[in-house]
Amino acid sequence: MIDQEKWSTILEEYEHLDVAPVTEPQRQYYFIKKCQQYVKQESEELGRPLYCKIVTFGCQMNARDSEKLTGILEEIGYEMIDQEEKADFVIYNTCTVRENANQRVYGRLGQLNRVKRKNTHMLIGLCGCMMQEPHVVEKLKKSYRFVDLIFGTHNIYKFAEVLATRFESGRMVIDIWKDTDRIVEDLPSDRKYSFKSGVNIMFGCNNFCSYCIVPYVRGRERSRNPKDIIREVERLVSDGVKEVMLLGQNVNSYGKTLEDPMTFAELLREIEKVDGLERLRFMTSHPKDLSDDLIAVMKDSSKICHHLHLPVQSGSTRILKKMNRRYTKEQYLELVEKIRKAVPDISLTTDIIVGFPQETEEDFQETLDVVRKVRFDSAFTFIYSKRTGTPASVMEGQVPQEVVKDRFDRLLKEVQAIAAKECARFESTVRTALVEEVNDQDPSLVTGRLDNNLLVHFPGTKEMIGALVPVRLLTCKGFYYIGEAVEK
Ligand code: 5AD
Ligand code: SF4
């Protein structure tokens, strides 16, 4: 879905350059052209196109990064496919927020090695947050020599250059930066959906929650220039996008590092003015930075979706302090009240960690209390995972696994029971759904996303994909609805 014509015109002038330009993104245009030649040559030798598969782990940020890689890969000449074992190039875009994500990558790499032994020209690339951890790269260098290229989160824009180096050297290429203050604009990017897209508004995080590895692997907070963001939204809309999700680890602190500082609420007001944009979402919000102005913008806006993902992490003020979250249980509850007063039908979702060091049964009861008081529409629940290098990893009083598991099960039960009841509160109302796909199990149905992020299945056809359709929500099935389209 990338604009081939536009890019071939842009890239054309880089074809006959002898040396790589020093400025970005021009330098990458030069390397994309170089890679095109290598791919073309190999594809001619094989008598077929070269195939690539990207496997994305983790959050929306990674999903967006994978779209950027896809844009570059398609420009280089790869065809994207679903089956990993048939691919000539497999990329794992990794996550390291919790240890089990790392273990999955090592496990899958072992399997991939067996495929590569049969298919020796296969390339394996690794990128994403896990690669920003020095001990991971050491392990890969030592025990996973069959990996061809390793690059990090800060220099993802350099992907074509790293790949060209691999083609030229025939050796494992490792290019990881510790941090960056750089944001490179204007590179190709693909979109998974034609009608909705993520848009990065900022990178990195300065919060240093004591359990979290993100600030170490995604670096310091830096905001994109508002002009660049608005230009991207305008382009997306002119290309058929109706819904935009603004992405950042902590969108509420957007703009603080800009030369002309700007708040997130101000940015939303500007983006909202883009004609043709129908829906605007954002994530993730840190409760400590959520301003009254933002609540006012959400209240007044006809485009901002009535959904807020507001990670609470714990309900115990004592634990929140140890987590370095910088709000108390009471402040969180007050904030929820304020938001609900301004936007009564808002859907609230959250993230909760159980088993943080020194968490007692009383602390856990405080978390359950918050869950019961707020009545989240859904919650992602996580077992605390010790991340090397974070302050929490060396705290005394790590909670035994069986205690954590028991709390986790109790929490999940509570969260699910409440979510199912809350979901039903919209039953028999009419809400607008953005149709995303034909239902997998029943092709007479389509699946649409409501502005509160819930899904509704209703009779429809594939021609409706990408359309905003008013739907009566007939029955709630716990986490989704069955509905019917109504005349506008
Ligand atoms: N252990 C468990 N969960 C974590 N998260 C972040 N770090 C950890 C960790 N070390 C969760 C938080 C965050 C979400 C993206 O992942 O709840 O909001
Ligand atoms: Fe991690 Fe906290 Fe930053 Fe979120 S706000 S990415 S939990 S450090």
Q: What percent of the chain has pLDDT over 90?
A: 90
Nearest alpha carbon to residue 75 among 149, 125, 1, 4: 4
78-91 mean pLDDT: 96
Give the pLDDT score at 192.
86
The domain segmentation of the chain, as residue ranges, is 4-175, 193-305, 338-425, 429-485
Identify the residue whose C-alpha is closest to ligand 2 atom 4. Answer: 249
Q: Which of 214, 310, 350 should be mutated for ligand 2, with most atoms under 8 A from CB?
A: 214
Helix (H) or strand (E) holding 249: none
**Residues near 270 by Cβ (< 8 Å), separated by ≥ 6?**
226, 230
**193-305 is a CATH 3.30.750.210 domain:** yes
**Residues near 411 by Cβ (< 8 Å), separated by ≥ 6?**
352, 354, 364, 367, 368, 371, 381
This model's pTM is above 0.95:
no
Q: Which residue has the higher pLDDT, 53 or 179?
A: 53
The CA-CA-CA angle for residues 337, 343, 344, to 5°, reads: 75
pLDDT at 18 over 70: yes
Q: Name the architecture of domain 338-425.
A: 2-Layer Sandwich (3.30)
- List pocket residues of ligand 1, CB cut-off 6 Å: 97-98, 211-212, 311, 313, 351, 353, 382, 384-385, 387
What is the 226 CA–ligand 1 centroid distance (Å)?
Answer: 29
* Ligand 2 atom at shortest distance from the alpha carbon of 351: 7
Q: Which residue has the higher pLDDT, 257 or 42?
A: 42
Q: Which residue has the higher pLDDT, 101 or 148?
A: 148
Q: Which residue has the higher pLDDT, 22 or 311?
A: 311
Is 59 annotated as ligand-binding? Answer: yes
Helix (H, G, I), strand (E, B) or coil at 237: helix
Q: Which of 57, 60, 61, 97 should be mutated for ligand 1, with most atoms under 8 A from CB?
A: 97
Q: Which ligand sits nearest to residue 97's alpha carbon?
A: 1
CATH of domain 429-485: 2.40.50.140
Measure the CA–CA gap between 136 and 118, rounded to whole angstroms. Answer: 26
Give the pLDDT score at 441.
92
* Ligand 1 atom at shortest distance from the alpha carbon of 213: 7
Give the pLDDT score at 344.
95
Average confidence score pLDDT of the chain = 94
The residue behind tokens 């409501």 is: 450
Poorest-pLDDT segment among 182-191, 207-216, 249-258, 375-384: 182-191
Is 209 annotated as ligand-binding? Answer: yes
Q: Which residues are registered as beta bridge partners of 245?
A: 198, 281
Q: Does the CB atom of residue 250 touch ligand 2 within 6 A? A: yes
Q: Which residues are registered as beta bridge partners of 246?
A: 199, 282
Domains 4-175 and 429-485 share a fold: no
* Ligand 1 atom at shortest distance from the alpha carbon of 390: 10
CB of 366 closer than 8 Å to CB of 321 = no
257-280 mean pLDDT: 96
Q: Which of 60, 95, 98 should be mutated for ligand 1, with most atoms under 8 A from CB?
A: 98
Q: Does the CB atom of residue 212 touch ligand 2 within 6 A? A: yes
**Cis bond before residue 23 (omega within 30° of 0):** no
pLDDT at 43 over 60: yes
| Tokens matching residue 19 | 């040396």
pLDDT at 395 over 70: yes
Give the pLDDT score at 488.
67
108-118 mean pLDDT: 94
Q: Which residue has the higher pLDDT, 385 or 179?
A: 385
pLDDT tens-digit map of 362-385: 999 999 999 999 999 999 999 999
Measure the CA–CA gap between 424 and 447, rounded to whole angstroms. Answer: 18
**Residue length of the chain:** 488
Q: Which of 62, 95, 205 should be mutated for ligand 2, with most atoms under 8 A from CB?
A: 205
Give the pLDDT score at 357.
98
* Ligand 2 atom at shortest distance from the alpha carbon of 212: 1
472-488 mean pLDDT: 92
What is the 301 CA–ligand 2 centroid distance (Å)?
Answer: 27
Q: Does the CB atom of residue 214 touch ligand 2 within 6 A? A: yes
Q: Which residue has the higher pLDDT, 192 or 7?
A: 192
Measure the CA–CA gap between 23 and 132, rounded to whole angstroms. Answer: 25
Is 423 annotated as ligand-binding? Answer: no
pLDDT at 115 over 90: yes
Residue 446 DSSP symbol:
E
pLDDT at 212 over 90: yes
**DSSP letters for 335-354:** HHHHHHHHSTT-EEEEEEEE
CATH of domain 4-175: 3.40.50.280
Tally Cβ neighbours within 10 Å of residue 61: 23
pLDDT tens-digit map of 399-440: 999 999 999 999 999 999 999 999 999 999 999 999 999 999
Give the pLDDT score at 378.
94
* Ligand 2 atom at shortest distance from the alpha carbon of 313: 7
Measure the CA–CA gap between 240 and 192, rounded to whole angstroms. Answer: 13
Is 212 annotated as ligand-binding? Answer: yes
Q: Does the CB atom of residue 336 touch ligand 2 within 6 A? A: no
Helix (H, G, I), strand (E, B) or coil at 485: strand
